[in-house]
Structures are given as structure tokens and as C-alpha cells.
Amino acid sequence: MPHQEPTEDGPAGAIPTFDLRRDGYAAIDWAANYLENVRKYPVMAQVSPGEIAASLPERMPEKGEPFSSVLTDLDQVIMPGITHWQHPRFFSYFATTSSEPAILAELLAATLNQVALIWRASPASTELEQVTMAWLADLLGLGDGWHGHIEDTASTSTLAALVAARHRSGRNAVVFSEHAHSSVEKDVRILGMHARKVATDDEFRMLVSGVAEQLAHGDVAAVVSTAGTTSAASFDPTPEIAELCARHQVWLHVDAAYAGSAWACPEFRASQAGVAQADSLVVNPHKWLLVPSDCSALFTRRPEALREAFTIVPEYLRTNDEAPSLSDYGPALGRRFRSLKLWAAMRCFGRAGIQEFIRRAVRLAALFAGWVEEDPDWELVHVSLSLVCFRRNGSDEENLAIVERVNRGGEIFMTHTRLGDRIVLRLAVGYLHTTEQDVAHAWAVLNQQSG
């Protein structure tokens, strides 16, 4: 093809320049003001579907605008549609809290903009991730023999584990609890594998007898045992499941995305039983270890199985470097510098700070559970770590109406789930700056909205 001179597609000087210090200071001031004043906002966004989109132009601007315009529209257009996960009265879903050191590290990671395709593309990103994952394994008391790397979410971490299990075994079925996270079933669907759901007992734990029945078919590639289910933070009987998996040569993946962080405290490690026999394990630091979303730790005792499943090295990535490439252990080739924010949080809080944060969340949940248990108008259904499941005496419809009124009021935000044949309300404690006063306020709001 003949050489062509570049043409000028736009007006001269169309690429704007920016003052990073001026705009950066403004952005940091915005972030600091937000965190200092987050209590002033309704926790759940009080907008209707489509409202934010209708407030935005249909097309991007023809000429560039100053960054100050972005901050202006952030305040005026975007903020009304923000549900405030950093709010001290965010009691919904699961603990998902960031922290100031990790927020700043996220900024630095974006500045460095590392794309860790292979080791030489970012030696620091690759090696810091290895070190940080070793720190994390030590913090959680996992012991030796684990290989770890970071994915974006537990959905991807579990997907990687299931790919390795299928690649190693040639089988095509996955067994998991009816209370396993929905991402497990989605991953199974993505892979075209067969989903085998198993019923649970009165404590919402997967029945070992159901697992044994499924393994008897001989086509199971993996069993997913959940350590801290989404609905109730219940723990499947991993030791018994591990014995069955070993007997049938089936990959055991443990989903501890939420509850695994609690293992930072030795007194919460009873739920870790059986994990040492697992082939893979996922824990999400972005849930309860003070880092922003997009940080899921995947550990495995079978790193060679992941490498066999995922390693494809095109010619342009071949080198003579005798160093690992973490892209060989998961679906993504391009990998962000995720370890920087986890490293920053672990350094700045230290083991003692992380432990106290987790213990405080568990104490606050226990305090709330005590209030529920003492009130004859309410029923305490299940308590585990920092999650309380409860309901108002009455119908499912009445309980659903309560949670809807509470959320629309904007003072707190929580969710419901179904345990057995009943609707229950969930209150999950886990934000860094949540206090006893915030939990007491949640209890007062619930009673006000139930009258």
C-alpha cells in the first residue's frame, strides 16, 4: 500500500491542553468535600429511570470543554442519580467500602496507566501484585501453597476457576447451592455448562447429600461451596464437600467473596474449615478490605491448571524474560494496576486497623440484632458476621412495603431477600465510618415506617 500523508480532520488546535495541578486540586477538593458531607445526601438515588439520561446532551460536544464544566455537571446532573455506597447508612447488598489511601492509589494507578500484558509490559504491576497477594493470604491465615492474582470481580474469578476445572477434567456440569451467588449460574451459562442446583438445610447451607447425589453422575467438573451466601451469609459445609470432591476428582471452588475478609480476624476463621483442601478460592477486597470496586482476589492451589487453560502467547508478546505473566491465569490479557490500591490500604491501615474495622462492623450488626430480638413486633431470622436478616411480623407484602418506604425516604438504604418461603429484610454493616448512631437511626427509621 502506498504511503499516505496524514490529513487534518479537524480545526487547528482542536486538541485542548489541561492544567493537571489546577484541575487535580479541584477534583481532590471535590472528593474530600463529598466524603465529608455524604451524610447530607439521600442514601438511595431518588430519581426515576431515564431521568439522568434525559438531562444529558444526545451528542458529545464538538469542541472540548474545560474540566471545571465536568465538575459542574457532576454536581448538577450526575449527583441526583448517585446511590451513595460510601454513605454511613448504606446497609444494602454487602459491605463495599473504600478508604482515603485506596482512593488516592486509584488515582495514581490511572496516572501510571499500566497495562500488564506480560511481565516486561509492567514489571512493577506484576511483582507488586504477587507480593500483595502473598500479604493477603497471610492476613487471612490461608497458609502456604496458594497462587494468587487479581481479577475485576468475583464473577470473573469464578469464571476463571470454572474454565480451569472444565479444561482439566473434560466434564461439563457445575454443582452449587440454591443460595449461591447468581454470578455462578451466569458463569455456567456463559460457558455452556450444565447447572446443578442443590437444596439447602434450615441454616441455608448446601446439603452434602445433594452434592453426593450429583457427583454420582460422573459428569461434574466443579463444585462451588459458598462461604458466606449473599442472602444470609451462611456457610456451606466445605470440609464434607471437599472430601466428596477429592473422592470423585472434582474441582472445588470456594466463593468467600464477602465473608473471606473476616478471616483477617482469627476469631472468625472457623468458617475457613475445609478451604485448605479447595482447588480455588475467591475473596473480594473491594467488599470489606477498604479498596474501591474492581479488586477480586483469586487464589488457587492448581496454578498450572489455570495456565494450561488460559495461556496463548502470540509472537508479538514472546520474550526471553524468565518471569511470570499474570495474564496467563485468567481471561483478560490487558490487566490494570489493581494491586496498588490494595497495597496502599494494607500499608496504611495495617493488620490491626483492618481487624478493628471488621470487628466493629460485626459488633454493630450484633447490636442491631439484639434490638430486633427484644422487640415482639419483629422476628430475628438469621445473623452472620455483619449481616442481619429479620422481618416485621406480618405478610410478605407488608415487609416489602416497609423496605420500599424506607429506601424512598432516603435516610437509609437496605434490601430484602427470600429465605425459605418468606421475605426477610437484610441489614449489612460494613462502611468504614458507620457508627452506633447510624445503626440506631436505621432501627428508628424501620420502626417509624412500620407503623
**How far is the C-alpha of 83 from the C-alpha of 43, rounded, in Å?**
6
Q: Measuring CA to CA, which residue among 117, 167, 133 is closest to residue 300?
A: 133
Q: What percent of the chain has pLDDT over 90?
A: 92
**If you average pLDDT over residues 232-258, what whole number do you get?**
97
Q: Is residue 201 part of a domain?
A: yes
Q: Is residue 178 part of a domain?
A: yes
pLDDT for residue 10: 55
Query: For residue 8, is pLDDT > 70?
Result: no
Out of 11-15, 164-168, 293-297, 410-414, least confident range: 11-15
User: Beta strand 378-384 with 251-255: parallel, antiparallel or unpaired?
Assistant: unpaired
Query: For residue 278, is pLDDT > 70?
Result: yes
Band the pLDDT of 94: cuts 50, 70, 90: confident
Q: Which residue has the cell 466524603?
A: 35
The CATH number covering residue 263 comes to 3.40.640.10
Cut 0.85: pTM above it: yes
Band the pLDDT of 14: cuts 50, 70, 90: confident
- Asked if residue 71 and residue 220 are part of one domain, the reply reads no
The whole-chain average pLDDT of the chain stands at 95
Contact of 173 with 189, CB cutoff 8 Å: no
- Asked if residue 169 and residue 64 are part of one domain, the reply reads no
pLDDT for residue 316: 87
CB-neighbour burial class of residue 360 (10 A; exposed 0-12, middle 13-18, buried 19+): middle
Q: Which residue has the cell 499516505?
A: 4
- Asked if residue 191 and residue 142 are part of one domain, the reply reads yes
The CATH number covering residue 55 comes to 1.20.1340.10
The CA-atom distances, in angstroms, between 423 and each of 395, 415, 419 are: 8, 11, 6
CA-CA-CA-CA torsion sign (216, 221, 227, 231) = negative
- Asked if residue 51 and residue 156 are part of one domain, the reply reads no
- Asked if residue 269 and residue 204 are part of one domain, the reply reads yes
- Asked if residue 112 and residue 47 are part of one domain, the reply reads no
Domain end among 346, 361, 394 = 346
What is the residue type of 68?
Answer: S
**If you average pLDDT over residues 26-46, what whole number do you get?**
96
Q: Which residue has the cell 424506607?
A: 406
Band the pLDDT of 118: cuts 50, 70, 90: very high
Q: How many CA atoms lie within 13 A of 249 on its CB side?
A: 7
Band the pLDDT of 12: cuts 50, 70, 90: low
- Asked if residue 107 and residue 75 are part of one domain, the reply reads no
**How far is the C-alpha of 365 from the C-alpha of 431, rounded, in Å?**
12
**If you average pLDDT over residues 241-255, what whole number do you get?**
98
Q: Is residue 416 part of a domain?
A: no
pLDDT for residue 11: 60
SS3 for the chain is CCCCCCCCCCCCCCCCCCCHHHHHHHHHHHHHHHHHHHHHCCCCCCCCCCHHHHCCCCCCCCCCCCHHHHHHHHHHHHHHHCCCCCCCCECCCCCCCCCHHHHHHHHHHHHHCCCCCCHHHCHHHHHHHHHHHHHHHHHCCCCCCCEEEEECCHHHHHHHHHHHHHHHHCCCEEEEECCCCHHHHHHHHHHCCEEEEECECCCCCECHHHHHHHHCCCCEEEEEEEECCCCCCCECCHHHHHHHHHHHCCEEEEECCCHHHHHHCHHHHHHHCCHHHCCEEEECHHHHCCCCCCCEEEEECCHHHHHHHHCCCCHHHCCCCCCCCHHHHCCCCCCCCCHHHHHHHHHHHHHHHHHHHHHHHHHHHHHHHHHHHHCCCEEEEEEECCEEEEEECCCHHHHHHHHHHHHHHCCCECEEEEECCEEEEEEECCCCCCCHHHHHHHHHHHHHCCC
Q: What is the pLDDT of residues 351-373, one digit of tens each?
A: 999 999 999 999 999 999 999 99
Band the pLDDT of 114: cuts 50, 70, 90: very high
pLDDT for residue 3: 56
Band the pLDDT of 332: cuts 50, 70, 90: very high
Q: Which residue has the cell 460457558?
A: 191
Q: What is the pLDDT of residues 199-236, one digit of tens each?
A: 999 999 999 999 999 999 999 999 999 999 999 999 99
pLDDT for residue 451: 76
Domain containing residue 188: 100-346
First to last CA, the chain: 77
Query: For residue 251, is pLDDT > 70?
Result: yes
Query: For residue 385, is pLDDT > 90?
Result: yes
- Asked if residue 77 and residue 122 are part of one domain, the reply reads no
Q: Is residue 250 part of a domain?
A: yes
pLDDT for residue 307: 96
- Asked if residue 142 and residue 45 are part of one domain, the reply reads no
pLDDT for residue 166: 98
β-pair partners for 425: 390, 416
Band the pLDDT of 60: cuts 50, 70, 90: very high
